[in-house]
């Protein structure tokens, strides 16, 4: 009898340990309850309250405004890629497998929730971090590109040493003569020519006077010589 009781107690303890080990956590229980609520809202909204053949709900995450985001699958969907522009973001997903919002006992597509003002750009930024296909179209400012500095190269002026011929030409270059200088030189030349002419005339007169004096002296001497005779 004692052995039977001991075996029974051991069995109960082992069963308790196993049950505790595999028991669902509170978070998992809450997520399961929320998924059940979402499933029922989906049935009421899209299936007229009738149970579909297949409808699976997967919780993706929640945002700071208490919104719960989930994926739903109806099975046997067509693999058609869909691209939507939502504010400053682009959402790519497979048709029938998009993420939706559950809030205030209603379900919305992300695009519908944004356009109706239920969510804003801040919530879209949170959703983009969940990595389910929503990406930002804005430029990435987390790693700004360092500005490149371009240094302009200035060509140094080349220094040309003048050749000997150029130096000689430069040295022997004639200074430009203005009209005034030319007129002055012409006046000086004319004056000099006139002075030469005057001097020549004076010399001629002096010679004539000397000849006349000599002739006069000769006449006087001749008369005196006749007088003495």
| C-alpha distances out from residue 191 to 184, 185, 187, 195, Å | 11, 10, 6, 6
pLDDT tens profile 104-150: 999 999 999 999 999 999 999 999 999 999 999 988 665 555 555 55
Name residue, tokens 């987390």. Answer: 142
Could you tell me the pTM of the whole model? 0.51
Task: Enter the tokens of residue 82.
Answer: 């869909």
**Do residues 99 and 93 make contact, with C-beta atoms less than 8 angstroms apart?**
yes
Residue-level pLDDT at 123: 96
Residue-level pLDDT at 112: 96
Contacts of 121 (CB under 8 A, 6+ apart): 87, 88
Q: Is the dihedral of CA 83, 85, 86, 89 positive or negative?
A: positive
**Do residues 155 and 86 make contact, with C-beta atoms less than 8 angstroms apart?**
no
Provide the 10 A C-beta neighbour count for residue 120: 12
The CA-based dihedral angle spanning residues 20, 25, 30, 31, taken in that order and rounded to the nearest 10 degrees: -120
What percent of the chain is modeled with pLDDT above 90? 37
**Do residues 86 and 121 make contact, with C-beta atoms less than 8 angstroms apart?**
no
Mean pLDDT computed over every residue of the chain: 73
pLDDT tens profile 9-54: 655 465 554 444 444 455 677 788 999 999 999 999 999 999 988 8
| C-alpha distances out from residue 52 to 39, 96, 102, Å | 10, 14, 19
Question: Which phi and psi angles does 137 have, rounded to 5°?
Answer: -95, -5
């Amino acid at each position: 009898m004692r052995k039977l009781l001991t075996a029974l107690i051991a069995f109960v303890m082992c069963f308790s340990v196993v049950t505790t080990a595999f028991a669902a956590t509170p978070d998992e229980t809450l997520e399961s309850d929320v998924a059940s609520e979402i499933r029922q809202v989906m049935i009421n909204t899209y299936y007229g309250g009738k149970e579909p053949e297949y409808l699976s709900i997967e919780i993706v995450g929640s945002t700071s405004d208490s919104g719960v985001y989930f994926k739903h699958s109806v099975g046997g969907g067509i693999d058609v890629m869909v691209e939507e522009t939502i504010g400053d973001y682009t959402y790519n997903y497979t048709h029938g497998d998009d993420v939706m919002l559950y809030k205030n006992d209603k379900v919305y597509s992300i695009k519908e929730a944004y356009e109706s003002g239920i969510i804003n750009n801040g919530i879209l930024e949170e959703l983009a971090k969940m990595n389910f296909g929503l990406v930002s179209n804005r430029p990435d400012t987390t790693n700004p590109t360092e500005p490149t500095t371009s240094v302009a190269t200035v060509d140094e002026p080349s220094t040309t040493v003048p050749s000997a011929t150029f130096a000689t030409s430069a040295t022997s270059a004639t200074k430009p003569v203005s009209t005034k200088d030319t007129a002055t030189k012409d006046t000086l030349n004319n004056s000099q020519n006139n002075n030469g002419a005057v001097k020549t005339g004076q010399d001629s007169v002096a010679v004539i006077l000397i000849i006349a004096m000599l002739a006069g002296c000769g006449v006087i001497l001749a008369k005196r010589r006749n007088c003495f005779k």
